[in-house]
Amino acid sequence: MASSSTSTAQAGPAEGDPAPDFSMPASGGRRVSLEALKGQPFLLYFYPKADTPGCTRQACGLQEALPQLGRLGLTVIGVSPDRLPAIEKFAAKYGLEFPLASDEDHRVAEAYGVWVRKSMYGKTYMGMERSSFLIGADGRVARVWRKVKPEAHAAQVMEAAKALG
């Protein structure tokens, strides 16, 4: 898939900033929110579309690392603009145990600065930038990854989560 991603000035939180508030429906009949995660570290990762090659590699890598991340006290939450039925199907197909949230109206993606102008084959459109935010137990952004490489991401998250202490 030949795509290049460009964006106008990226808004969204920087390292050290308070994490923007969110509340979204998620796979398995769950709901994820900043309020419910208060006092615990978590990874909020944004991916463009369920069950596509890059998103599948990223999700499966995080699923594989989940036991180790859990030992570090880290919760993982995936976010895409997909509707819940597509998200549920994706989670079931790959046995993804962590919540995958639906941000259909892009409100959360916009708050995190990851709903961006993209271009593919000469056409421009708005879409989700593959980005992740590691939020510390204090509710502040500890680490930001933009334009994530799916294959390497779980290892990057593991190192950063260890550094949280």
CATH number of the domain where residue 78 is located: 3.40.30.10
Contacts of 75 (CB under 8 A, 6+ apart): 37, 40, 41, 42, 43, 98
Q: What gap in Å lies between CA 78 and CA 100, rounded to an integer? A: 5
Q: Is residue 59 part of a domain?
A: yes
Q: Is residue 6 part of a domain?
A: no
Q: Is residue 97 part of a domain?
A: yes
Q: Which domain holds residue 137?
A: 23-29+37-164
Of all helices (H) and strands (E), which one includes residue 50? none
Q: Is residue 71 part of a domain?
A: yes
Pairing of strands 115-120, 123-128: antiparallel
Q: Is residue 93 part of a domain?
A: yes
Q: What is the pLDDT of residue 139?
A: 96
Active site residue 55: yes
Q: Is residue 1 part of a domain?
A: no
Q: What is the pLDDT of residue 42?
A: 97
Q: What is the pLDDT of residue 164?
A: 85
Q: What is the pLDDT of residue 10?
A: 61
What's the structural domain count of the chain?
1
Q: What is the pLDDT of residue 118?
A: 87
The position carrying tokens 């895409």 is 80
Catalytic residue among 24, 50, 55, 148: 55
Q: What is the pLDDT of residue 125?
A: 83
Q: Is residue 110 part of a domain?
A: yes
Q: What is the pLDDT of residue 61?
A: 95
Q: Is residue 11 part of a domain?
A: no
* Strand intervals (E) in 52-149: 75-80, 100-102, 115-120, 123-128, 131-135, 141-145
Render each residue's pLDDT in the chain as its tens digit; 165 residues. Answer: 333 444 344 688 999 999 999 999 999 999 999 999 999 999 999 999 999 999 999 999 999 999 999 999 999 999 999 999 999 999 999 999 999 999 999 999 999 999 989 888 889 989 899 999 999 999 999 999 998 998 889 999 999 999 886
Q: What gap in Å lies between CA 36 and CA 38, rounded to an integer? A: 6
Q: What gap in Å lies between CA 46 and CA 54, rounded to an integer? A: 12
Which is nearest to 52 in space by CA: 75, 23, 86? 86
